[in-house]
Structure 1
Amino acid sequence: MLLSDEKGAFEFRRLETGIYNLECSMLGFRSKTQEIVMNENETRFVTIKMEEGFLQIDQITVSPRKEVNYFNAIDFRLRPTQTTQDLLRLVPGLFIAQHAGGGKAEQIFIRGFDVDHGTDIAISVDGMPVNMVSQAHGQGYADLHFVIPETVEGMDFSKGPYDTKIGNFNTAGAVRFQTLNYLKKNVVKFEAGSFNTYRGLAMLKLLDKADSTNSLRQNAYLASEFVTAKGYFDFPQNFDRLNIMGKYTTDLNSSTSLSLSLSTFSSRWDASGQIPERAVRSGLISWYGAIDPTEGGNTSRSNANLTLVKTLNDGAVIRNQLYGINYKFNLYSNFTFFKDDSLNGDEIFQYEERNIFGYNGAYSKSYEILGLKASTIAGVGLRDDNIRDIGLAHSVKRRVLSDIKKGDIDETNANVFIDQSFYLSSRITLNFGLRYDAFTFRYNDRLSDTLGKSRNLNVFSPKVNLYYNLSQGAQLYLSAGKGFHSNDTRVAIMDSVHNKIPAAYGLDFGTNLKVGNRILINAAWWFLIMDTEYTYTGDDGTIGSEGRSRRYGLDLSARGQLNKWLFFDFDFNYCKSRLTDNSDETGYLPLAPKFSSIAGLSIRSFKGFSASLRYRYLGERPAAEDNSIIAKGYFIMDAVVNYTTDRFQIYLSAENLFNQKWKEAQFATESRLRGENEPVTEIHFTPGTPLFVKAGITYLF
């Protein structure tokens, strides 16, 4: 068995003269066999076209190659992805919470981390970073709303800090999305749902050409969506979002391809924000009410992404990528109400505007050395974030009263890495890598007379992965590595802060098992230690220390095919998380998930029908370091049914099928309501979506 590279290319060397039957298979495509006649000293180039077919788990052979992620292809084809939130939920064990009117980046939970909005998970789209360093609201802020879900062709995820190619924020894991290079059909879609929710989508082919051999192609398409919603809160969210994306791909010749994409996105919203439990208990507000209904904000992001891929005569591949991003962010929030200002209230305004310029270059080659098959990936990268006018202000009803923090940031990250794999036998693969990242942090405080400060920091990140196949259906693997997430620039330049990039040290021991021809199982025991990290709290402009932490747990996932059209999936995750410098009584990590599970049944292509019935369960977890306040868990059921013809698709979905009242985002917060003499610390929450029904129709032409 031979695996192709990411472009579908493969190579056989030193074949003897004769007739060969070449069989190609790919998950979700019909297998194809082609006869190849080889003469002496002949080099042949063959193009094989695959046609889509039924998803069949029995096509999977557990491979010792680390590049293979079986669950990606299965989940992406089976699970409904109507929103960008659905895209993130494709990662086994990843949970999200929205708590600011739908326009703010989701809060993410994975592997015992409250990742906040992206501090410990690296997210990218077509190689462009989603995470924002030194962001006005929080480090690593990852707003994925600029992506139109229907343009996403595939995704890849990894858990733990074991991929050499990924740097900043890759501690708990990484998620990489890839968008379509071409459209098979034009698409027009309209959706309508509860709470005055509407969405329109158009995806149109602008160019679809191929030469006489059908090997050199030019493709271009334009996609756009508009979303508007009033929301289910007492005070309307008035959420609006517009996305536009265009992508052009071409084969310059038989060995060189070019891709150019341009996109822009903007959104605005009002938010009811987090509310204290006591306000609901007393009847001051309803479950869906607000203390300060003037929260909300607006944001925008524009992207330009150019990628050139060249295959050399010896089979090596050189990839060059240039990207530019313009990003704006304005957010009004009020978490403490009248705790600090009993007259005007404690509303804050967080804002920034930045330009990002980046380059990624990589060289990859497969070869033989001393009789062993091997592959090497070497790469370099550069990212510069130029942030002008980033700050925090005290406001009332979106009117600024006074500045708290205000300045300019220039943060540069240069990196170089090498990733080496040796295929020691048909059963054993050894992979190891080393990554070096260098940072330059610069901050100019515009509220101070002192000169701007800067600091240079660097970090080495070694990785090692060992894969051993007991058989074609059973694999063991061991991964160890170091990852990191950078500090906010406003922390990194402080003289009092330890001169170090906070590191994460991880270990995974796991297995991939194929049980018969119908069930695939992944199980992993994992362990992760985090260095002491200093944090910048964007909500009040203060600096704090998190202390060292330790997390360990078990991830268990299963995917099964009950017959040709009925599938099941199951994920269970357990984690124990502690601050290691604290006692057992005071060492809890606030909001760190302990138990979580996702599972569902999926029908695919049964007489034109597809459907999904799924649950998501997140257990209760500590909201305070001494475990004195508990964030309650939830169990939610969702359902989708879809009917497809050659020209039309019709679907109906229901979120929170049993209309439960549940708390989506929860925090232990000290606040004071108007008229209270003293602040109170208790759970503040954003209510989760009640029963939400949505229907859509798609026209394909």
Structure 2
Amino acid sequence: MPNPYRPAATLAALAALNLQTPAFADDVPTLEPVLIESDRHDLVGAADTASEGVVGADQLVHRPLLRPAEALEAVPGLIVTQHSGDGKANQYFLRGFNLDHGSDFSTHVMGMPVNMVSHGHGQGYMDLNFLIPELIGTLRYRKGVYAAEDGDFATTGSARIDYARSLPAPFADVSVGGNGYRRALAAGSHEREGLTWLAAVEFTRNDGPWVQPEQLQKENAVLRLSSGTASNGFSLTAMVYQARWYATEHVPERAIDSGEIDRYGALLPSDGGHTHRHSLSGEWAREQAGGELRASAYAIDYDLNLFSAPSGFIKGPQGDQHEQADRRRVFGGELVRTWRPADSASEWSAGLQLRHDRIGSVGLYDTVARARTHTVREDRIRQTGVGLFGELRTQWQPWLRSVLALRHDDMRAEVDPLAGTFNAGNGGRVRDRQTSPKLSLAFGPFGPSGRTEYYASWGRGFHSNDARGATARTNPQDGTPADAVPLLVRAEGSEIGLRTTPLPGWNTSLAVWQMDLASELVFVGDEGVTEPKGASRRHGVEWSNHLMPLPGLSIDADVAASHARFTAPDPGNGGRHVPNAIPLTASLALTLDRGGPWSGGLRLRYIGAYALEETGRERSEAFWMVNARAGYRIDRSLRLTVDVLNLFGSRAHDITYWGGACSRADGAGCNGGDGIDGRLVHPLEPRTVRVALRMGF
């Protein structure tokens, strides 16, 4: 006899359904979701944990953004900052992790991985500057290590972003703002004989508030062919992105305080870089009798040349600038089969994931004014990861369901040294494997209206280390012996939580979590070596709320607190604090759109003070910042939008580090060549006004 409680309405199904054509308010292009179930807080009966969700386009359309990657801040508790130029990957923070440029958070766009393994600048480098936020149809996120489809880098969680498949009408958007900001975006779609073509082109220029103008030049284009839906159809997507910029790196705070440089000044004039990301991806899904079959494939051509001088003049009067170069092609895909027997209370799925990185050259070079003077190391890498996973979903009772999963990953790499005085002895082949069991339980729904559900989850996951660290024998800087590190680092997490609707229009979720990481090993691209940091333990609590107190008024309020410590004290100073682990974040977002001519959004973000080094004596400063947006529909095809970023002109720092550096006033090679320890800061951009005019056709 068929079980009426079979878990067919899974989160993945909700996400797939939500990839339909967005709507336009008053014929003005405004992406909106199709299903109310896509609300990130309203997943009772569909979610596996309390800390996952699906963000629809309507939750992004009124959100003022300084940078494209800030769309990820729709994930409760996730913080996006920057310590360099806008062409470089952002800094990310979540659940007591300084994710650096993405080392412990996995992101996919249109089925393609964004994180880069064995990258020239940092492991898991996650550059989202190619995103076009206006095209995002859904952003599906999970936190923790509990999902079977999540593999490398998905330690704190993962996000999967998909663009809309079609637009009801084409539009053009022109934006201007302070500090030379200019942006033009044109997008539209056309359907013929069951096929839908979508195209978008974006051009961005920006100097920023910096004494050294950023001179950012970004070109971006998307062409997508699709048919049907994400759960029963196909899509082919071509993307082209390239950018060039000058950067103002973080600088010693004392250089600003003493007046040596301006608050928005730089120590060296030629930092920055250029990059490109060209890709072709395809996704196919077919609903079959008693199940579903999904397949995807992708090819990515990627290039980065990044010039940085994070320590100023430690090495000499010409400065410490170095170049990190990365040239690669990435190929991969996924195949997933799901079975839903009509006479069973269970749903089975099995999947295969493959990724191969052909890194033609990844190197670190000493430079002066972007001219190479010395090769520290240069390598060729071939790295392949294979993931197999199986998942069993079972509805045991109307009030109890489970998700049992098992994932096995096999990663291998071959590193060939190409150049470097002390690099010849490095390289070789390495292989590592990990089997990761996962279990989630959902209890409910309970209550008079059936709107309360409880969750318990446990699982194992991992992030990979740079293959150069896993094949190291000598330090490429000086030839001293170096110990190789494991290719895979295990993570183990657990979580309990609930999701409920205490009052009409109020959805809330609460999660209490813990995470153990076997090692905080990080490959330091600035030095070409792996830096050991030891094992760590983190725990915390997250409370997320979504309210609709009045028609057209939406409020999102999130608070996240965490505690991060190394399991053993630092041998140098005895401290156990994990540097740059943010202990408290909060956000408040208000959106008002009642269908009239006026609309708007307001977002407040709070970041608590965090330890800058292991003892915790040196700490950053807590701060809050507000961004605002006001929109006016002039007529049915014309809309004016004004964004005010950093509304109250906060003079806080986007990021603060602790480390050694030398300014010109300190003297080249100061403190015996070790630099002077102190705060290294990158200021928030000042109050900025941007005006956009959008015309629908």
- TM-score, length basis structure 2: 0.89
2:436 to 428, 445, 461: 461
Name whichever of 154-163 and 498-507 sits farther off. 498-507
The yes-or-no answer on 1:96 pairing with 2:83 is no
1:440 is aligned to 2:424: no
Query: What is the aligned partner in structure 2 of residue 335 from structure 1?
Result: 310
Instruction: Return closer, same or farther for 1:179/1:428 CA change in 2, 3 Å cut-off.
Output: same
Any residues of structure 2 matched to 1:255-654 within 5 Å, and which? 257-312=233-288, 314-340=289-315, 342-368=316-342, 372-447=344-419, 448-450=423-425, 452-469=427-444, 470-471=446-447, 472-494=450-472, 496-499=483-486, 501-582=488-569, 586-644=575-633, 645-654=635-644
> Separation in 2 of the partners of 1:362 and 1:697?
43
Contact conserved, 2:566 with 2:577, CA < 8 A, in 1? yes
How many Å apart are 1:351 and its aligned residue? Answer: 0.4
Larger relative contact order, structure 1 or 2 (CA cutoff 8 Å, min sep 6): 2
Q: CA RMSD in A?
A: 2.8
Offset at residue 125 of structure 1 (A): 0.5
- The residue correspondences of 1:145-224 to structure 2 (distance < 5 A) are 145-205=129-189, 207-210=190-193, 217-224=194-201
User: Partner amino acid for 1:557?
Assistant: S
Shift of 1:601: 2.1
Deviation digits for residues 540-561 of structure 1 (CA, Å, limit 9, x no counterpart): 1122211000000110111111
Distance in 2 between residues matched to 1:557 and 1:59, nearest whole Å: 8
Structure 2 CA distance, aligned partners of 1:489 and 1:627? 32
Distance 1:305 1:55, change over 3 A: closer
CA deviation map 1:280-335 (0-9, x unaligned)? 111101111111121100100001001222222x1321111110000000100001
Q: CA deviation at 1:187?
A: 1.2
Instruction: Write the distance in 2 (CA, Å) between the matches of 1:9 and 1:236.
Output: 41
Q: Which amino acid aligns with 1:646?
A: R
Do structure 1's residue 80 and structure 2's residue 63 form an aligned pair? yes
Runs of 4+ in 1 over 4 A off after TM superposition: 1-11, 50-61, 67-71, 448-452
Change (3 A) 1:690 1:337: same
Query: Does the 8 Å contact 1:265/1:301 carry over to 2?
Result: yes
Give the number of equivalent residue pairs.
Answer: 657
Contact 1:75 1:90 (C-alpha < 8 Å) held by counterparts? no
- Is 1:58–1:517's contact at 8 Å kept on the other side of the alignment? no
Q: Give the AA of the match of 2:246.
A: D
**Structure 1 residues 310, 622: CA separation in 2 closer, same or farther (over 3 Å shift)?**
same
Residues 87-110 of structure 1: CA deviation (Å, up to 9, x unaligned): 111111011111222110100000
Q: 1:58 to 1:375 in 2, by over 3 A?
A: closer
Structure 1, 468-477 or 503-512: larger mean CA deviation: 468-477
Which residue identity does 1:658 align to in structure 2? F
Tell me the equivalent position of 1:20.
none
How many Å separate the matches in 2 of 1:669 and 1:110?
A: 22
In structure 2, the residue matched to 1:695 is: 691
Q: What SS does structure 1 have at the residue aligned with 2:175?
A: strand
Q: How does 1:228-243 map to 2 (within 5 A)?
A: 228-243=205-220
Q: Which deviates more, 537-546 or 238-247?
A: 537-546
Alignment partner of 2:44 out of 28, 38, 62: 62
Using the TM superposition, give the Cα deviation of residue 368 of structure 1 relative to its aligned residue in structure 2, in angstroms.
4.6
Instruction: Report the structure number with the largest CA radius of gyration.
Output: 1
- How far the C-alpha of 1:344 sits from its partner, in A, is 2.0
Letter in 1 for 2:340: S
Following TM superposition, by how much is the alpha carbon of 1:251 offset from its aligned partner in structure 2, in angstroms? 4.8
1:664/1:551 CA distance change after superposition, 3 Å: same
**Secondary structure of residue in 2 paired with 1:177:** strand
CA contact (8 A) 2:41 2:509 kept: no
Give the unaligned 5+ runs of structure 1: 12-23, 30-49, 211-216
CA change 1:79–1:86 in 2 (3 A) is farther
Instruction: Provide the residue aligned with 2:27 in structure 1.
Output: none
User: Given that residues 209 and 218 in structure 1 are in contact (C-alpha distance below 8 angstroms), is that contact kept between their aligned partners in structure 2?
Assistant: yes
Aligned AA (1:202): A
How big is each residue's C-alpha offset from its partner over 1:113-149, in whole Å with a ceiling of 9 and x where there is no partner?
A: 0000000000001110000001100000000111211
Cα distance in 1 for partners of 2:37, 2:583 equals: 33
Deviation at 1:151, TM superposition (A): 1.7
What whole-Å deviation, never above 9, does each CA across 1:550-590 have from its counterpart, x for those lacking one? Answer: 00011011111111112211111111100011179500100
Matched position secondary structure for 2:411: strand
Distance in 1, matches of 2:144 and 2:58, equals 20
* Greater CA drift, 423-432 or 317-326: 423-432
Cα distance in 1 for partners of 2:629, 2:15 equals 36
Contact 2:54–2:138 under 8 Å retained in 1 = no
Tell me how far 1:638 sits from its aligned partner.
1.1
2: CA distance, partners of 1:543 / 1:61: 41
Distance 1:332 1:51, change over 3 A: closer
C-alpha distance in structure 2 between counterparts of 1:403 and 1:384, whole Å = 27
Counterpart amino acid of 2:386?
A
Structure 1 residues 671-680 or 548-557, which shifts more? 671-680
- Distance (whole Å) between structure 2 residues aligned to residue 93 and residue 159 of structure 1: 10
Output one character per residue of 1:477-528: Cα deviation in whole Å (capped at 9) or x when no partner.
0011001000101012236335462111001110101012111111111000
1:66-104 superposed Cα distances (whole Å, 9 cap, x missing partner)? 399556249735652655233111111011111222110
| CA shift in 2, pair 1:220/1:655, >3 Å | same
Cα distance in 2 for residues equivalent to 1:573 and 1:585 = 28
- How many Å separate the matches in 1 of 2:81 and 2:645? 14
| 1:101-120 superposed matches below 5 A | 101-120=85-104
CA separation of 1:604 and 1:373: change in aligned 2, threshold 3 A: farther
CA shift at 1:415, angstroms? 1.0
Specify the code of the residue in structure 2 equivalent to 1:373.
Answer: A
Letter in 2 for 1:700: G
| Residue in 1 that maps onto 2:476 | none
Deviation at 1:441, TM superposition (A): 1.1
Closer/same/farther in 2, CA of residues 153 and 71 from structure 1, 3 Å limit: closer
* Identity level (%): 26
Letter in 2 for 1:551: R
Q: Deviation at 1:699?
A: 0.9
* TM-score, reference length from structure 1: 0.89
Matched, 1:130 2:114: yes
What displacement does 1:4 show? 4.8
Amino acid at match of 1:283: G
Q: Quick check: 167-176 or 74-83, which moved more?
A: 74-83
Structure 2 counterpart of 1:684, from 673, 680, 684:
680
| 8 Å CA contact 1:590, 1:623 repeated in 2 | yes
Distance 1:251 1:592, change over 3 A: closer
